[in-house]
Amino acid sequence: MSTEAIAPPRPGPPLRALLRPVVGPLVAIVIATLVGAALVAALGQNPIEVYSTLIEGGIVGWPNLSVALQMTTPLIFTGLAVAVSFHAGLWNIGAEGQMLVGALAAGIVGYAVPLPPVLHVPACLIAAAFGGLLWASVPALLRVYLNVNELVICLMMNPIALLATGFVATHALKAPGPTNKLPDILDSAVLPNFSLFSQLNAGIFIALACCVAVAIVNAMTVRGFEWRIMGLSPRFAYYGGVNVRRNAVAVMLISGAIAGLGGAEQVLGVYKAFYDNFSPGYGFDGIAVAMLANSNPIGVLFAAFLFGALSAGSGVLQMMTGVSKYLVQVLQFIIVLVLAAQFSFAWLFGRKPAKPSARVSVARSVEERTGTEKVG
């Protein structure tokens, strides 16, 4: 393994290089599919029939597709929020809480601040982004100035957000009626829906725009460059003169703002009011989406659509075969599990033979882990 042996000039076959980041997620999906098939068979159903119904119900025909896209939209927001932070080596797993706070902000501005339609939606969006940003600022600042693990704080901020927004929706600003919700937003704040079959709404374009914007920032700007380096090797970034603190705060705030926008989409486009506890866990699904997407903003679109289509297919699956909604959740969990396993596998063994020095191999384990996943 001298100079020549270890590093043959490798422009590399471009196709393989392109496919490399997709391999891990595909393996996860295939394994999940197989395990799911075994489960279905064990339940006495025909796996092929179940899967074809699932696919049919997920994507075939506008009714199903529009439902899939409705389910996809919040996952794009939360997945992108998590991906932005993962990309910079930060663990913002508080998208759920940030989304709730953002949704509440949008819900309040949506019903309480009468504005002309051109201004009302943007005002709600800004309020939501600000709400999410505010909620993310707690872990961000604690992380940067007191070196408290942001993962733990994010995790704790989630139930706090649920309870705090719940308080507002059930007490402080509750709309009359049996449901715990804020009053309906004004018509001027509604994001238009496209279809009767679902509450798919203009929010999906905001989600797409966010993905494109993040992709551009990541790929083309100085900040994106610095975030990428921070994500792959924080010590190298620091050594190299990157203002790691300021960037970390910025990333967390942006991540929170995106999650908050996701809340706005739900309130302005789907529910037309802030409902207590409206999210069935979009923020947590977002973590899975980001993992599946390899933290790539464009990958987030595909990963979110996969999960969204699975949810949509799940509805039809229940109608047609009576297979429980849990099948789809099991599939999602297995995908996440396999991805996590790949993650730790790479972390434990590395993809390259470790040099004999124990010191080096321990030291680089962290980079190895994220590194081998991301390069290619």
Partner 1 sequence: MTGAGPERVALCNIAKSFGELVAVDDASMSIRRGEVHALVGENGAGKTTLMNILYGLLSRTSGDILLDGTPVAFKGPAEAIRAGIGMVHQHFKLAPSFTVAENIILGSEPLSRLGQLDRLEADRRTRALSQRFGFDLDPEAIVGTLPIGLRQRVEILKALYREAEILILDEPTSVLTPQETRELFATMRSLAANGRSIVFITHKLKEVLAVSDRISVMRHGRIIATTGNSGVSAEQLARLMVGRPVLMRVVKTRAHPAGAAALKVENLTVIGDRGETAVADLSLAVRPGEIVGLAGVQGNGQDELVQCIAGLRRPLSGRIEICGTAVAGREPLDCRAAGLAYIPADRGRVGLSRASRVWENMTLGHQAEFARGPFLAARSARARSAELIRRFDVRGANVDTPAASLSGGNQQKVQLARELTRAAAIILAEQPSQGVDIGAIEAIHRILVEMRDAGRAVFVISADLDEIFALSDRILVIFRGRIVADLTAEETDFEEIGRFMGGIEGPSAGLGRATASSNLDAGDRVY
Partner 2 sequence: MLQAIGKLSALATIAVGLVLGTAAEAKIKVAMVTSESGLGDRSFNDMMNEGMKRAVKELGVEYVVIQPRSISEFQSTLVRAAGQGFDIIIGSSFDMIKPMQAAAAAFPNQKFGLVDVGPDPIASNVVSSVTKDWEGSFLVGVVAAKVTKTGTIGFVGGKDIPIIHRFFVGYFYGAKMAKPDVNVLESYSGTFTDPAAGKEYTLALVNQKSDINFAVAGATSAGVIDAAKSTNTFAIGVDSNQNYMAPGHVLTSMVKRVDTQAYDMIKEVVDGSFKGGTVKYYGLKEGGVDAAMDQYNKGLIPDDVLKQIDELRQKVISGEIVVPNYFDLKAGQKEMGTPPIASPPSVVNKPG
Q: Which residues contact 150 (CB under 8 A, 6 or more apart)?
A: 90, 91, 92, 139, 140, 142, 143, 252
Least distance between partner 2 and beta carbon 172 (Å): 12
Binding-site partner at residue 64 among partner 1, partner 2, none, CB < 5 to 8 Å by type: partner 2
**Residue whose CB is less far from partner 1, 78 or 247:** 247
Residue 99: phi and psi, rounded to 5, are -65, -45
Nearer to partner 1, 212 or 360 (CB): 360
Q: Is the dihedral of CA 282, 288, 376, 84 positive or negative?
A: positive
SS3 for 57? helix
Query: Rounded to the nearest whole angstrom, what is the least distance from the CB of residue 7 to partner 1 in the complex?
Result: 3
Which of partner 1, partner 2, none interacts with 6 (beta carbon under 5 to 8 A by kind)?
A: partner 1
Residue 192 or 240 with smaller CB distance to partner 1? 240
Phi, psi of 181 (to 5 degrees): -155, 165
Identity of the residue numbered 333: F
- From partner 2, partner 1, none, which one binds at residue 235 (CB under 5 to 8 Å depending on kind)? partner 1
Nearer to partner 1, 198 or 218 (CB): 218
Q: Which residues of the shown chain bind partner 2 in the complex (CB under 8 A)? A: 49, 52-53, 56-57, 60-64, 66-67, 70-71, 166, 170-171, 177-180, 196-199, 266, 270-271, 275, 278-280, 311-312, 315-316, 318-322, 324-325
Selection from partner 2, partner 1, none that 98 binds (CB < 5 to 8 A by kind) is: none
Residue 188 binding: pick among partner 2, partner 1, none (C-beta 5-8 Å cut-off by kind): none
Q: Is the dihedral of CA 11, 239, 237, 342 positive or negative?
A: positive
- In angstroms, rounded to a whole number, what is the distance separating the alpha carbons of residues 198 and 269? 10
Residue 94 CA to residue 157 CA, distance in Å, equals 7
Question: Smallest gap, in angstroms, from Cβ of residue 275 to partner 2?
Answer: 6
Which residue number, 184 or 367, has a Cβ lying nearer to partner 2? 184
Residue 278 binding partner per list partner 2, partner 1, none, with a CB distance cut-off of 5 to 8 Å that depends on partner kind: partner 2
**Nearer CB in complex with partner 1: 174/374:** 374
User: From the CB of residue 119, how many other CB atoms can be counted at a distance below 10 Å?
Assistant: 12
Long-range contacts of 174-179 (CB under 8 A, 24+ apart): 175/273, 179/275
Residue ranges binding partner 1 (CB under 8 A): 1-12, 220-226, 228-229, 232-233, 235-243, 351-353, 355-364, 367-368, 370-372, 374-375
Q: Pick from 366, 350, 340, 79: which is nearest to 230 by CA? A: 366
Q: Within 13 Å, how many C-alpha atoms sit on residue 180's CB side? A: 14
CB closer to partner 1, 118 vs 146 = 146
| Partner whose binding site includes residue 15, from partner 1, partner 2, none (CB under 5 to 8 Å by kind) | none
